[in-house]
Amino acid sequence: MIPLIAPGWLLLGGACLIPFIPKGAARTSFMLALPLFGMGLLWLIPDGSLAASFGGYAITPFRMDGLARIFCLIFLIATFLSALYAWHLRDSFQHVSAFIYAGAALSALTAGDLLTLFVFWELVSLGSVGLIWARRGEGAWHTGLRYLIWQMASGLLLLGGALFFFRETGSLAFDAMTLQSPSAWLIFLAFGIKAGFPLLHNWIQDAYPAGTITGTVFLSCFTTKLAIYALARGFPATEALIYIGVIMTIFPIFYAVIENDLRRVLSYSLNNQLGFMVVGIGIGTPLAINGAVAHAFCHIIYKSLLFMSVGAVMYRVGTAKATELGGLYRSMPLTMIFCVIAAASISAFPLFSGFISKSPILSESLGGGYWVVWFLLLFASAGVFHHSGIKIPYFTFFAHDSGRRVREAPMHMLLAMGIAAFLCVAIGVYPQALYAMLPFPMGDYTAYDAAHVIGQLELLIFSALAFGFLMLSGLYPPEVRGVNLDWDWVYRRVLRRAFERIGGSVLVLGDKVWGYVLGVWGVVYSVLARFYGPGGLMGPSRAAGSMALWTAILLSLALLFAYS
């Protein structure tokens, strides 16, 4: 039996109550209790679905199975950790936005039809944009608008795809589909925008660094992983995803290496990690899907931990620019330790969570005969170690001494980071607990065989030596203030100026055409005035008898011509 309230609906209802709870410990305790209670509900909900009717059409507003359950669990964990990290916050707007965001994302996970998915898909956009606008200022406003445009474009594509899909099949069920119809392509692109496909990815690097310190932690958890879930649900074993995912793992590396803003570095790194998940979904075997799901689970934890550690530094220092940081291990040693644990996890060190989640994807790419894909994923893994495993902790806490002496992060931030760091280590040491929750049985698979461990250690050692050589030789790109041009430059500058020029030309052409129309009308008006004006042929008043005579004459001529 499906309960009347689902975890996502619980968080959405709680978001409506938050403004009426006094700010401070009472409100924060309520916000922490919501995801904990949601975990309890998740434990009690059996697999199954809830059918309903809307406007005479069959819909499934709630569905629970193995795939949805594990994503719901990690979303609830992320909500709890993010709320704990934001304990100090007294901004009702951020509180409500964050829980609408989290609740809508959870509700989208349990949507069994495309119409329900669309409703919560859009609500995710509306909730998340508040975490960008909450930073205030003109820059945040414009960034939020750009972010919202991308998210609404995704929603429109999803709605259009759902309508075409219903027309083709007579069903709104959200299940696996193939790229054999226009409706599937529209839905695929809708998911691709939120997943950060190449050329559709810049909203991540634009919006996430523009969020508030606590809001960015929420942002890093839900939107893109909801898209990963949607791809795993809707397009498993779609081969195009393999090559899309490989590109996603490669291109962010080069931007992350030269980027000065560490939150933008983490945003590019997020894009890179999504690529591994997309590859796993594209391969489509049970083990590869499990690897993608496990990697999404672990990624939410260690990526939020990285954003938390950089956010804690930003909270104390006021900046996340690498050129203005360094030497903070003296002032913030616990934050530094948590950051290093997150860096080891994302770099896939053995005994850390990233190792046990990335290994199945690499194994299946090699076992499936995708040799080039496997090699490029190895290259991307080395790049991750450079820009997230080394660069983030090195330039934040070590490198040159910036001379800044600040207090350690607040206790609630340390507690949230400590729990996340514990999970990173616990999952890496005992992966069977996570493997047991995955959608498909893992069988006798183990990440800790000699080939995986030795191969990964060799890769990491080589990458570390390369980083050391580049730093000592001065060949490593220096951290400098600047603006790095990405694909968004094309539509924010080139296309904008092109449209402005085209628009200006259209206006000039319109003025000329309008002038020509007015000139023609002037000629027509003068001719009409000559005949019908006061001094024209037809202008003077005529006697009634005279007009009757003319009418009779014209009618006679008409009859004569008609019947002659």
Give 266-276 pLDDT, tens digit per residue. 999 999 999 99
Q: How far apart are CA 289 and CA 277, in angstroms?
A: 8
Assess whether 494 and 468 both reside in one domain. Answer: no
Mean pLDDT of 243-270: 91
Is a pLDDT exceeding 60 seen at residue 538?
Answer: no
pLDDT > 70? residue 72:
yes
Which of these three, 486, 504, 535, is where a domain ends?
486
Q: What would the mean pLDDT of 266-289 be, rounded to a whole number? A: 96
Same domain, 500 and 471: no
Pairing status of strand 48-54 against strand 57-64: antiparallel
Clarify whether residues 472 and 500 are in a common domain: no
- Sign of the CA dihedral with 79 first, then 81, 84, and 85 last: negative
In the predicted model, what is the mean pLDDT of residues 424-450? 94
Q: Residue 443 falls within a domain, yes or no?
A: yes
Say yes or no to pLDDT of 454 above 60.
yes
- What's the structural domain count of the chain? 3
Residue 27 in this model has a pLDDT that exceeds 60: yes
Q: Calculate the dihedral angle through the C-alpha atoms of 187, 225, 91, 406, rounding to the nearest 10 degrees.
A: -140
Q: pLDDT category, 244, cuts 50, 70, 90?
A: very high
The single-letter DSSP state of residue 270 is: H
What confidence score (pLDDT) does residue 157 get? 97
Weakest mean pLDDT among 236-245, 301-310, 386-395, 548-557:
548-557
Rounded to an integer, the average pLDDT of 137-157 is: 91
Do 459 and 497 lie in one domain? The reply is no
Q: Are residues 252 and 383 in the same domain?
A: yes
Q: Is residue 256 part of a domain?
A: yes
Determine which of 154-163, 262-271, 501-510 has the lowest per-residue pLDDT on average: 501-510
Higher pLDDT, 210 or 554: 210
Average pLDDT of the residues in 300-309: 97
How many residues are given for the chain? Answer: 564
**In a shared domain, residues 427 and 498:** no
- Indicate the pTM of the whole model: 0.87
Provide the pLDDT for residue 534.
Answer: 62
**434 and 537, same domain (yes or no):** no
From 174, 193, 224, give the residue that closes a domain. 174
Report the number of secondary-structure helices (H) and strands (E) in the chain: 23, 2
Helix (H, G, I), strand (E, B) or coil at 60: strand
Q: Are residues 394 and 301 part of one domain?
A: yes
Same domain, 476 and 499: no
Flag whether pLDDT at 2 surpasses 60.
no
Q: What integer is the mean pLDDT of 212-218?
A: 95
The answer on pLDDT for 1 being more than 60 is no
Q: Are residues 126 and 247 in the same domain?
A: no
The torsion of the CA quartet 39, 303, 223, 384, rounded to 10 degrees, works out to -140
240 and 324 share one domain: yes
- Tell me the percentage of the chain whose pLDDT exceeds 70: 91
Provide the pLDDT for residue 475. 67
Structural domain of 76: 1-174
Mean residue pLDDT of the chain comes to 89
Instruction: For residues 541-562, give the mean pLDDT.
Output: 70
* Domain's final residue, options 446, 466, 486: 486
Please tell me the predicted confidence (pLDDT) of residue 148.
95
Residue 546: predicted pLDDT: 64
